[in-house]
Chain A
Amino acid sequence: MTKIYGEGDTQVRALRDVSFSVRKGEFLLIIGASGSGKSTLLNMIGLLDRPTNGNVIIDGINTSTLSDNQISSFRNQKLGFIFQSANLLSDLTVLENVTLPRQILGNNETAISDAKKLLTTVGLEPQMYKRANKISGGQAQRAAIARGLANSPSIVLADEPTGNLDSVTAETVVQLMKSMSRKLGQTFIVVTHDPSQFGDVDRVITTKDGRAFEGKESNKIEVTA
């Protein structure tokens, strides 16, 4: 797929003919310098934006054929998001934030109990009833991980999840994500500018000038259509 912003002389090719597949259960890192297109790539995969050319196929479904409402439902059920600054809703408690995806899905019966289990798993049981704006950055990021897993999505997309954290907290978050991936078998696609934090992962894709290369910078193989 290709993504172009703007028109004419102000055109910017954020992505150029990027094409690759991700297997179920893979822990994939997307790395690259600032402005290389990694976040744009993640937005395309996460259906937060549409490619100018090409399409995204998730679990066999060509998402370019979906309507706006269908894409919203798809995101809710198939995708989980972990943002750089957690992006919890500050007016809600930690527990309410984690139950939100399930409430949007319309499945409220076990939403609270499942959310509590997730929060216990990520070590946030004591902070469950605190307002989201009353917890630390590391705690918020763990809550965001729990929210991202609330609907048992096929793919969890994380955009610089450790970007705003100190090294110790970042390590904790990374280990948490990896253990959840192992335990639940979910696919994790993580954008980061610092792959060293993540150690060994299943796969790495490097972006540069809108193009994607398999592997790290030093041994990259371009992934194109």
Chain B
Amino acid sequence: MGAVLAVTIGILVIHVNFVIFQGLFDAIVRDLTDYRFGNLQVTDEEDYIDKSDHSLVNWFERIPYVYAATPRLDSSAAINITKFGKRIEETRVPVVGVDPLRDIRASTVHKTVTEGQYVFSRNSIVLGSNVAKDLGGAQVGDNVKLKIVDRYGQDQLKRFVVTGIANSPGGQGFDYSVVMHIDTLRDMMNREGYTGSIMVKLNDPTKATEIKEFFLRSFPNQDFKAETLEEVAEQQLAGFRSGIAMINMIGYFGMMSSAFAIVTIQMMLVNGKTKEIGVMRAIGAKRKDILIIFLFQGLIIGTIGATVGTAAGLGYTIYAMETKMSWNNSLPLEVTIQWDKVIQTALTSFSLALIASLYPSYRATKLLPVEAMRTV
């Protein structure tokens, strides 16, 4: 029973780790994809894209694998508000310019607007929840002033009406930024016709590299840079991956510990059955018969433990999926069942249980009948 429990817990730990940490990683990838970068991001290698964003968007949207594309422009601004007679200012606030009609197809960041609505007009602005808080609790309907330094170094001032407050679970959205109409931002930056990036959402994310290469071949002399999410967010994701790998290693060490527990338990069993082993040898059982008995026991332990552990792990995974389990009560985990990993974990645990039974089984065969039967 103890040995079976050891195997079960070993597998369950792996599954729980996977749900939480892989789920967290996948959730971050999901949000980065959905809010910021899409499956593919096109930028200019040196400066801004000066080709018409409409033509680029249309080019992408003619490809069957592409669901939608949208232009974006980034800058930073100083923002101030006067509330209850008091002026509050924040500097270096990231600004994102979006095309409202295309953005809501290529991105889901508009769904993070918890109060009010997304950008819809040239003078509407959506504040990230943290920006709104820093501005003394700015609300929908408030007036704010933005100051942006244009390409010529001139301050450009404009008044906006707050139409929405964005608050994304886990903060991967525009919680720390402000969102305005891209044309308004272009005007303020004196960058009419320029685009910072094209965000492309795909029907089939596995085609990202293929479409990227097709795009670059189609526009060979345009200084375009096209990157998949993996490439764009490489640094962000690399750190997470290392963390997950380490967590997984800890999980597998845990599984190996359960193997040691099985060795110990099996040795106790061999010691406890010494007299019976002696009797069996006395009535004619060969060493290999004894070996098979204890190996079979290890097989049973591995089978039951792997089955129960996998069932418990899958149960936990399905529970996490159904309840949209969230990390730290904020970021909803992206939980999936990866059957190859499930099978790999079960087989590894089963194999370890069997291997752990080898030494005790071998020791059982070494008992001499006459010595074994002296055991009281």
Contact = CB atoms under 8 A, between A and B. Distances in A.
B362 to A, nearest CB: 15
Nearest to B286: A72
Nearest to A101: B283
B279 A75 contact: no
Interface string B280-303: 111111111100000000000000
Nearest to A89: B276
A66 interface: no
Given A83-B373, A89-B276, A104 B283 contact: yes
A88 to B, nearest CB: 8
Contacts of B285: 72, 76, 104
A172 interface: no
Contacts, number: 54
Given A48-B369, A87-B275, A100 B283 contact: yes
A105 B373 contact: no
A101 B286 CA distance: 12
B284 A104 contact: yes
A90 B272 CA distance: 12
Interface residues of B, number: 17
A68 interface: yes
A89 B275 CA distance: 9
Interface in A100-132: 100-101, 104-105
B354 to A, nearest CB: 22
Interface string A196-214: 0000000000000000000
A147 interface: yes
Contacts of B286: 68-69, 72-73
B250 interface: no
Interface in A35-61: 43, 46, 48-49
A69 B287 contact: yes
Interface in B189-209: none
B63 interface: no
A104 B373 CA distance: 19
A169 interface: no
Contact of B287 (A68, A87, A101, A147): A68
B370 interface: yes
A122 to B, nearest CB: 17
Nearest to A75: B284
A77 interface: yes
Interface string A75-102: 1110001010001011000000000110
Nearest to B276: A89
Given A69-B286, A72-B286, A87 B281 contact: no
B286 to A, nearest CB: 4
Nearest to A78: B284
B281 A72 contact: yes
Given A69-B287, A83-B373, A104-B289, A46 B276 contact: no
Contacts of A48: 282, 368-370, 373
A146 B48 CA distance: 96
A83 B373 CA distance: 9
Contacts of B283: 75-76, 81, 100-101, 104, 147
B373 A73 contact: no
Given A48-B369, A49-B370, A104-B289, A89 B279 contact: yes
Nearest to A104: B284
A81 B282 CA distance: 7
Interface in B318-375: 368-370, 373
A37 to B, nearest CB: 14
Contacts of A77: 284
A81 B280 CA distance: 11
A166 B116 CA distance: 94
Contacts of A83: 279, 373
A72 B286 CA distance: 6
A81 B283 CA distance: 7
Contacts of A90: 276
Contacts of B368: 48-49
Best-buried of B284, B285, B287, B368 by chain A (most CB within 10 Å): B284
A68 B365 CA distance: 11
A144 B268 CA distance: 27
B254 to A, nearest CB: 32
A49 to B, nearest CB: 4
Contacts of A76: 283-285
The 4 closest A-B pairs by CB, nearest first: A76-B284, A48-B370, A72-B286, A49-B370
26 contacts: A46-B282, A48-B282, A48-B369, A49-B369, A68-B286, A68-B287, A69-B288, A72-B281, A72-B284, A72-B285, A72-B286, A72-B287, A73-B284, A73-B286, A75-B282, A76-B283, A81-B283, A83-B279, A83-B373, A87-B275, A87-B276, A87-B279, A89-B276, A89-B280, A90-B276, A104-B284
Given A48-B369, A147-B283, 14 more contacts: A48-B370, A68-B286, A72-B285, A73-B284, A75-B282, A76-B284, A87-B276, A87-B279, A89-B276, A101-B284, A104-B280, A104-B289, A105-B284, A151-B284
